[in-house]
Structure 1
């Protein structure tokens, strides 16, 4: 019984430390992501999507808007 109480207290301490670390990291990440434009979509008079991080362009704007973004994901992963 004593071992169970000790384990639960240690777990609570470890969990509190993890939550603190997440709280410190999250605001910086959210702030840095909120100001960056990732893609430009042109739908008229022609269709084009340009990824600003990789400079990759595709004329298949409808496909990208339907969720087919694997092309951009692969280009981003290869770049990094």
Structure 2
């Protein structure tokens, strides 16, 4: 099982961008190829703008969801992505 855990300052990096970049890294491809080549599209699972607002405006939170074959967990400072 492949896992990637990263620390972020969400005011500097939008969570939606961090998720796409982390999944692209696990898929060994540029983030621009995730949708066309791998069929992984974040917006088919969750509203990226709403996610960014939630994470950047919450003081204490944890968000968990799946994108394609990846489980995603976000906290105040951490992104965890695990291949299922």
Ranked by relative contact order (alpha carbons within 8 Å, sequence separation 6 or more), the top structure is 2
Q: TM-score, normalised by structure 1?
A: 0.25
* TM-score normalised according to structure 2 size: 0.25
Structure (1 or 2) with the greater strand fraction: 2
Q: Hey, which of these two has a bigger chunk of helix by percent?
A: 1
The structure with the largest alpha-carbon Rg is 1
